[in-house]
Structure 1
Amino acid sequence: MGRVLLFLLRLWRRHAWLVAMIVAAMIGATLTDVLMPLFAGKLVTDVAATGPRLREAHAALVTVGIMAGLGASQTLLRNIVFRGVVALSLRNMAESAQEAFNRVQRFSSDWHANSFAGSVQRKITRGMWAIDMLNDTLLVALLPALCVLGGTAAVLGWRWPVMGGLLAGGALLYIVLATSLSVGWVAPAAQLSNRWDTRVGGALADAISCNAVVKAFGAEAREDEILRGVLAKWAARTRRTWIRGTNSGTIQGVALLLLRTGVTSLAVWLWWSGRASPGDIATVLTAYFVIHGYLRDIGFHISNLQRGVNDMEELVALHSQGLGVEDAPDARPIRIGNGEIVFDRVGFRYGPHALPFFEDFSLRIAAGERVGLVGHSGSGKTSFVKLLQRLHDVSAGAIRIDGQDIRAVRQASLRANLAIVAQEPILFHRSLADNIAYARPGASLAEIEQAAWLANAHEFIARLPRGYQTLVGERGVKLSGGERQRVAIARAFLANAPILILDEATASLDSESEALIQEAMERLMTGRTVIVIAHRLSTVRALDRILVFDRGRLAEEGPHEALLTREGGIYRRLFERQAMGLLPAES
């Protein structure tokens, strides 16, 4: 709870003047509740007085006028409070969601690989709405309740110390009881319920995003059963939370009954002993009924407070989690002219692995050189590219582009200078124009169309009913594989980056699409430093140099013809097996 409330306090400090206005208005509105019982008692005294009737009627009307004025003041001040809380909550919710999204976008690729997108979305949205609940609970509910309790106990205690002591002591014990039940008994169950709520979101997102696979295997009923199991556990945990909340409310109700009986009995005793008039009794009872309403609700508010804290915990954890790969404080934009790449005695290990994946690894790729990366799955091709993108940090040595250590430059500027065409390109559920222009957001339609022409994509786009404004579906599912590849190549053309990385984009396409994409890629490679992750070795024959990886080391390098002459060489063995059809193209 402390960590969440400190996080909320930091949000409040950004709008300190607004919070101060809300608190001041709420204290003023609450003061009217404290004063109202005094004037209610005075009204009873005025009405019951035996003096001249006209004078007592005048006094009663003045009291009624004061009470009406207090009521009007309370209405106005509470309106100010509600308007202020609306403004504060909307700002806090938007800021926290924006900042959480900002951090999630910058978390490492490993973090994203191990997280459900649906679960992450649920953490952010649930935490965002919890801020609204906490603002209402703290500023609109608990703040006035504590003010009324303290103010009323002080006013009654000034007149009858024993009554003030009973009210203050009873209210304090009740608050301690309500807090203990909520924090120590209900909250642990709520935390477990929230974890299962997050799993429900993850299970839904996982099945829905992979619906094509579900349909391919006729597995709808199987996925229904998986979700049914998750929902059953969620329901069991949530039922326990709600039952505990209900029992907690019952215990608090019994405590309030005891306090009400004690206050009423003490008021009767004060009247019996001649220390209180009927008007005083009216003051005490009116004050208690005001306090009783606040006390009755305070347990509910404390429960809401704890529930809001539980709902915000995962959002706060996102804010406190390290990014993994961070820019240096003095990082500057990278400036790439020629595009020379140097791996200088690089060492790298994955996570907690004891043995390094790369050790004392050195390599130079000249500016404008076209190289292919070859090797079995897990040999280091993808790791090499991820290190170049700085999706991971090296543990030893350095990676330099045109002499600049990539750890000393801003990641965004580094990646903006690396155009990537993946084997399975991912598109946003936006228009084709938006997807192509993602490489350069300010690009004109003419520039977008030119990039599409170069990528052999304009023809199929022009045939679509809405052309470049056609929505492509989630991850581009409305397009064929070849069409998605050509859109990705058009995006790379528009990026116009000096370094190009191709995760061989033709490995699983028909011959017509492959020919179009090969032609587009030849245009794209012109005048750039090019790295091709090769799955089909026939595609690397024309490259300047081929790098053969084996278990994180550079086993062989050279042009295609030279590598084929090596007796027992890895490249020769792979090429011969593919040529004979014994080895799948993806190896």
Structure 2
Amino acid sequence: MSRFKTLFRADAFAKVLGFTFRHWARQPWRATLIGLLVLAATLADALSPIFAGRLVDAVASGSGSDDAFWAPAITAFLTMVALYVSAVVLRQFVFFNLITFTLQIMNDVISTAFQRVQRFSTDWHANSFAGSTVRKITRGSSALDLLNDTLLIALLPSLVMLVGATVILGLAWPVMGLVVGLGSLIYVGVTAWLSMAFVAPAGALANTWDTKMGGALADAVSCNAVVKAFGAETREESILEHVVGKWRKRTRRVWQRGTLNGGAQGLMMALMQAAILGTALLLWRAGAATPGDITFVLTMFFVLQGHLRDVGQHIRNLQRSVNDMEELVELDRQPYGIQDKPGAKPIRIKEGAIAFDHVTFQYGSHESPLYRDFSVRIAPGERVGLVGHSGSGKTTFVKLIQRLYDINDGAIIIDGQNIADVQQSSLRAQIAIVQQEPILFHRTLAENIAYARPGASRAEIEEAARQANAHDFIAGLPKGYETMVGERGVKLSGGERQRVAIARAFLADARVLILDEATSSLDSESEVQIQQAMERLMVGRTTLVIAHRLSTVVALDRLLVFDKGRIVEEGDHNALIRLQGGIYRRLFERQALELTKGLVA
């Protein structure tokens, strides 16, 4: 199991680093410049101990009044100062370039992640918490900043310093080079193994619960109206406490393992320190090292010790940033689900003729198709009602027209164009839809109406609102069309939200219109206003009405009665109501009976 976990973490590191390096490749010259500047600054650090040793040798060899000793001492001193200043200046250039480099990558990562999430399938969004998705993106993009710092201005100079120290000391005393090189390899190898096999798996699990915590918070906050309606604040707090408790336990384990990892690194550092200093003393006893050489070794060791200690911290930072970026990288690797074909062109809908041609469609998790060899044609401008029990296939019908799912066989044709061959965005932009529960952005009323056509003028927006019977209530608000509607339109009543959605559909002026029974949960006055607006909206458009209340579809041109993915009855209201034992007649009579009972009560 341990070996499996190690391999699993190595795979995660490979994915995250591959993702990061692909973004580096978009700024090759800046990445190269940063690397060269880091190497130059590190070289300055590595050379400083050599001149510190020469300075001590010069001072120990004679009097400062003797020019023969004074000149080498001053030369060593000035060289050390120059190296220190050069290292500082070079690092400033590194930092300024790294700021631009990292911010550009973070910008690209966030934009790309948002772009992908927007285009993921309906199923993906239905099965994902919005809060969790936001948390994955924000946590991952922040971790990218730490990862860049760790790789470019932390690990790179530390590793270069370790190699440089090994080479410099090895050239002077091979045995010292062996001790430093072997000790460094053991230290770095053990530290990397502990981080990947011991700390990282716990970190990945802790991040999973961190994501769940973000999702639980967002879910409860966004549904606060329901929480208040049922007085369920304490219940929601208990649910969150369970998630937070799991997160706390997993995070404590990560921190504990990190502490043990730090202790192991400290012990290895102490052993390496003893080995280096012991070797230096033996060299001095054997006459192979001067006082300046000992100073050189000690100075090099102190520089090396700082880098070795930092390597442990850098590897821990690398492990943590990889953990934090994993879910973001998985988003980047997630397939879209519904993809445009290469070279797909925009669709052009002028008439609005719709045809299902021998369509077979099966939801991924279902054992059998919902539609099998399904065919139907809808004429341009025809108003069609979709009727049937829940789960009969009505909603799927309109989702397939919008290409929210891909069919398994056959074709869906609009104005002679197969929707599988055109750009999804152009298809959906030319289909107006008014949902049963319209969703509004937390933006102004004008912006929400204009979402169907961003370039619309204020006059066009107001005319659409008038057509939707929405202008009067909007004009009566203190800020009118500049009123913010709240998250998902929570500041408006259900009827007001519906009228804004209908105004949006008027402004879209699409040839194909989908109405998901927009009056089923409204008061009588709002229902009348919305019914009038919808009748105006349907004029001249191919209209599909998903019927929940059958009284709203009696005047439509044709009704399609669905049952288990098949059209079992077809015709207008008068024809279907005369069918003895028909599904439509049975549903209509049941609703009429329920209405009568309600009036009597």
Scaled by the length of structure 2, the TM-score of the pair is 0.96
> Does 2:27 align with 1:15?
yes
Which of 438, 441, 452 is equivalent to 2:465?
Answer: 452
Q: Deviations over 1:144-189 (max 9, x none)?
A: 0011111111011111011011101100100001001000100110
Aligned residue pairs total 585
Q: Give the equivalent residue in structure 1 for 2:210.
A: 197
State the AA in 2 paired with 1:37: P
Q: Give the equivalent residue in structure 2 for 1:28.
A: 40
SS of the equivalent of 2:269 reads: helix
Which of 62, 67, 76 is equivalent to 1:50?
Answer: 62
Q: Deviations over 1:404-443 (max 9, x none)?
A: 1000000000001100000100000000011001001111
CA deviation after TM superposition for structure 1 residue 473, in Å: 0.2
State the AA in 2 paired with 1:45: D
Q: Give the equivalent residue in structure 2 for 1:325.
A: 338
State the AA in 1 paired with 2:62: T
**Which residues of 2 match residues 249-268 of structure 1 at below 5 A?**
249-268=262-281
Which of 537, 546, 563 is equivalent to 1:533?
Answer: 546
CA deviation after TM superposition for structure 1 residue 55, in Å: 3.2
Identical columns (%) = 61
State the AA in 1 paired with 2:44: T
Q: Deviations over 1:545-586 (max 9, x none)?
A: 00000111101010000001100000000000101117999x
Q: Give the equivalent residue in structure 2 for 1:114.
A: 127
State the AA in 1 paired with 2:104: R
SS of the equivalent of 2:568 reads: strand
State the AA in 2 paired with 1:70: L
Which of 134, 139, 156 is equivalent to 1:126?
Answer: 139
Q: Give the equivalent residue in structure 1 for 2:105.
A: 92
Q: Give the equivalent residue in structure 1 for 2:151.
A: 138
Q: Give the equivalent residue in structure 2 for 1:404.
A: 417
Which of 276, 290, 294 is equivalent to 1:277?
Answer: 290
CA deviation after TM superposition for structure 1 residue 63, in Å: 1.6
Over the aligned positions, Cα root-mean-square deviation in angstroms equals 1.2
Which of 374, 379, 390 is equivalent to 2:392?
Answer: 379
Q: Give the equivalent residue in structure 1 for 2:491.
A: 478
Aligned equivalents of 1:256, 1:313: Cα separation in 2 = 31
Q: Give the equivalent residue in structure 1 for 2:574.
A: 561
**Which residues of 2 match residues 136-175 of structure 1 at below 5 A?**
136-175=149-188
SS of the equivalent of 1:343 reads: strand
State the AA in 2 paired with 1:428: F
State the AA in 1 paired with 2:394: K
Aligned equivalents of 2:401, 2:309: Cα separation in 1 = 62
Aligned equivalents of 2:300, 2:62: Cα separation in 1 = 25
State the AA in 1 paired with 2:289: A
Contact 1:133/1:304 (CA < 8 Å) preserved in 2?
Answer: yes
Q: Deviations over 1:99-126 (max 9, x none)?
A: 0111111000011000000001101111
Contact 1:577/1:583 (CA < 8 Å) preserved in 2?
Answer: no
CA deviation after TM superposition for structure 1 residue 352, in Å: 2.9
Runs ≥4 residues deviating over 6 A: 582-585
Q: Deviations over 1:298-336 (max 9, x none)?
A: 111101101111111100100111100100002110011
> Does 2:189 align with 1:176?
yes
Which of 475, 487, 491 is equivalent to 2:504?
Answer: 491
Q: Give the equivalent residue in structure 1 for 2:50.
A: 38
Q: Deviations over 1:190-217 (max 9, x none)?
A: 0110000001001101100110110000
Q: Give the equivalent residue in structure 2 for 1:290.
A: 303
Report which stretch shifted further, 63-72 or 262-271. Answer: 63-72
Cα pair distance change 1:20/1:97, threshold 3 Å: same
Aligned equivalents of 1:60, 1:570: Cα separation in 2 = 105
State the AA in 2 paired with 1:218: G
Aligned equivalents of 1:194, 1:50: Cα separation in 2 = 63
SS of the equivalent of 1:581 reads: helix
SS of the equivalent of 2:594 reads: coil
Q: Give the equivalent residue in structure 1 for 2:526.
A: 513
Cα pair distance change 1:297/1:522, threshold 3 Å: same
Aligned equivalents of 1:295, 1:574: Cα separation in 2 = 78
Aligned equivalents of 1:446, 1:290: Cα separation in 2 = 71
Report which stretch shifted further, 86-95 or 241-250. Answer: 86-95
Which of 252, 255, 259 is equivalent to 1:239?
Answer: 252
State the AA in 2 paired with 1:313: E
CA deviation after TM superposition for structure 1 residue 504, in Å: 1.1
Aligned equivalents of 2:77, 2:473: Cα separation in 1 = 80
> Does 2:17 align with 1:5?
yes
Q: Give the equivalent residue in structure 1 for 2:7.
A: none
| Structure 2: gaps spanning 5 or more residues | 1-12
CA deviation after TM superposition for structure 1 residue 57, in Å: 2.1
Scaled by the length of structure 1, the TM-score of the pair is 0.99
